[in-house]
Structure 1
Amino acid sequence: METIKNQHFEGERPLFGKHDLRLEQVTIGDGESAIKECSHIEAKDCHLWGKYPFWHVHKFIIEDCKFDAGARSALWYSDYLLMRNTRIDAPKMFREMHHVHLEDVVINDADETFWRCQFVEANNLELHEGTYPFMFCDYVRINGLKCDSKYVFQYCRNVELRNANIVTKDSFWECENVNIYDSVLDGEYLAWHSKNVRLVNCHLKGEQLLCYADNLVLENCTFDKDCDRVFEYSNVNANISGHIENIKNPTSGHIVADSIGSITIDEFVKEPNSCVIEVKTK
């Protein structure tokens, strides 16, 4: 494998079509598409601020690197990426990619990040600012997620999250086959129009959560004191620990909680209107 150390590249496609290349303490400056149509690339302790550096790259490692704000849209149409200990300050990263593995990665501008990606695995991932990360993704597994971006995980399939702390709005809309464990989900309109969502040992915050959901399951979950109008028009089976303030118009299923502030079943409830709602016996 060829190694390039302590060099600076800029301009149009300076490393186009390279294979079996290791970059150490390399800077990628002004210009576009520095590392395009490449394979078997390793980048260690590199600094990137030019546009579109990693496009159409096959089997590559990025470790201890930094992407400045100018390195927007840096990772597109590529596969088999391992990224470790990296900071990203640029938006629109990770598009149309598959087999992505991330370890200890911080993305400070997560605007339109992770679109149409498949087979994404991550440990200790942070997403900050921006809108619509993880749109139209399939097969996502994350352990240790911190996220304050808006509208996260829309139109996703086959998602598993563990130990997540998500502060957002309109998350998990029209998702299918989602399992979330030991997490805090804070934001309005959680998982509307979703199918096969399962929450285990989660704490939920926000208003009008979990509406229009099909085959929704909650196991040992807790609700913040301000949650109301929960489960409207949903088919739900929920075991709630502690108190839930208001349940409104669930369609069917079974809901049990330690205590319930109020239940709203009005003329707008949808058939079959067969949901059993009860307080746990002591």
Structure 2
Amino acid sequence: MLLQTLISVQALNDALEQENTVILDCRFYLVDHKKGRYEYEKGHVPKAIFVDVHHELAGKETELTGRHPLPEQEDFADQLQRWGIDQHSRVIVYDDMGGAIAARAWWMLSQQGIETYVLNGGINAWQQQGFPISMDNVIPERSFYRYQVSFPWQITEQKIVENFELDSFVLVDARAKDRYQGENETIDPVAGHIPGAVNRPFSDNLIETGEFKTKEDLLREWNDVASSGEPLVHYCGSGITSCHNVLAMNYAGLSASKVYVGSWSQWAKRMLKAANITS
């Protein structure tokens, strides 16, 4: 089943006055968690609600998880209510990184059955085309509807381990090539990639403007990645930008949904633990 994927800035502008439209500003910066709120306050799409990615799209990191584990299901059900999302909502998410961050929200909401789109080109495209910017701090009215949240599209660390024997899927690493090759690791304590994984940087889904490549180009490129015919499971550093590859595949017309949320940041902890045991 293919998912809803992208929406244009013109279509978003047309949807602004529709009562069921919910807009989420997902700007996030790994080295400065306060910057997202700062950028939101400087100006955002009208009606947009600020999303604290680190706390509202992720749970608390532990010694056993990656850097951005999924939140507890009941916590995320509460969060959906706080954003005013109900069974009639049409949600549009955006960032300023070509959808690299917003795709995480898209992936989490889509598996709840919520109609969700990523703004193609993000707020950069919105501003470049001259659409209005607001500085209002939007506080939504809490929804009465409560979703029964689940995350059926997540792949656990145990499934990754089992796949070394079962060989039932191919892992796709969404990080930049140098990090995949272990040449420039400045975030996680161990460099490299999960054995057997192939590399498809999420940035390869985009053109220079930060908008997505054409469906035709993405279909051709992703068919090359999926040439073995086995299902793909996506991962990255902490389970955020991997969702961008899921988004790109669906936009190209290819079914995809599975993400190893723990990603390299969890796998690196596993490697460190193993090294300590054997040393």
TM-score range, shorter chain: under 0.3
User: Which one scores higher on RCO, CA 8 angstroms, separation ≥ 6?
Assistant: 2
Q: Which has the higher helix share?
A: 2
TM-score when normalising by structure 2: 0.21
